[in-house]
Structure 1
Amino acid sequence: MSNSTPDVARSTNRRAAAARLHNLGTRLLSLAAIQSDRLVNEELARAGTRKWHYAVLATLDEFGSASQAELSSRTGIYRSDMVTVINELAGRDWVERSPNPADRRQNIIVLTERGLRQLPQLDKLLTEVEDEVLAPLTPSQREQLARLLATLVDHHNQKM
């Protein structure tokens, strides 16, 4: 390993971390995000799906049919990637795509009955992953963490 490549496996042991890294919030946030993302991706892969699939299904369920551009904005999925996600979901009959009657150049994406039936299974899976990731925290600490993370995300989204 080169000197410029961090040893992530060793660096995640807080006791072994250099003092200036031990409580560096941005570093800890990054490490927690890496671990959480890995677990989410692994569990969704076992279920034959991906986190972007869930994001689109959940968004359509909550807000109703939408254009691909609206879905991109609401989920944070790049527009160029949204086409692939919609193709994958349509291939599973979880969504349907049809031309927008008001603008034939635009597609409207609709959640299908099959896609709607998939959501509770994915909700349950992600709740189990969240319980694993947040296991050391009490319920009130989990709520506080969610509020703090939402504050950070909202703050930085305003700058974009």
Structure 2
Amino acid sequence: MAEAPLPAIRSLPSWILGRAAARGRALVAEALAAQDMKMWHHVVLSAVRDLAPVAQADLGRGIGLDPKDLVGVLNDLQAAGLVVRAPDPRDRRKNAVSLTDEGARLLTRCEEAAREANDALLAPLSAAERDQFMALLTRISGTEGV
């Protein structure tokens, strides 16, 4: 049997991390799809829960989503009864976004599904290895202390 192509590339940590990240995203996306949820919709729901009531512009900046894309996601979430947009109490010229009770319930289910998907991703590791892996990933990702 022939050796896999690109051995120099495939041995790079960045390549391996990218493959692991792609597998993790796929597992989470599949788990969220079972809840009729997409990845960015889940991110927005989570951010709204953490920041609400939050102005749309602040929400978009906080999660790094282009304003046009954010409007589309919020339209979907509002149409599904998961968020509400109302005048911002701090600045009535802006819209503030908050979760509905149904949005909060769905977010809880999505968070559990995402945790289970991540558990599946890390299943080959022992508990101690998972802790070490997460500590190392945090150090190299530049998110330590964030």
Q: Shorter-normalised TM-score: what interval?
A: 0.7 to 0.9
Structure 1: distance between partners of 2:114 and 2:79: 23
Q: Deviations over 1:85-142 (max 9, x none)?
A: 1111101111000122443442100111111111221111111100111111122322
Matched, 1:97 2:79: no
Matched, 1:132 2:120: yes
The one-letter code sitting in structure 2 at the alignment partner of 1:78 is D
Corresponding residue of 1:28: 16
Q: Secondary structure at the match of 1:16?
A: coil
Structure 2: distance between partners of 1:139 and 1:76: 32
Corresponding residue of 1:150: 138
Identity of aligned residues (%): 33
Structure 1: distance between partners of 2:113 and 2:73: 20
TM-score, length basis structure 2: 0.83
Corresponding residue of 1:42: 30
Indicate the larger mover: 145-154 or 32-41.
Answer: 145-154
Question: RCO higher in 1 or 2 (8 Å CA, sep ≥ 6)?
Answer: 2
Of the candidates 43, 50, 60, which is equivalent to residue 62 of structure 1?
A: 50
Structure 2: distance between partners of 1:45 and 1:91: 18
Q: Which runs of 5+ in 2 are unaligned?
A: none
Corresponding residue of 2:65: 77
Structure 2: distance between partners of 1:153 and 1:80: 28
Corresponding residue of 2:4: 16
TM-score, length basis structure 1: 0.77
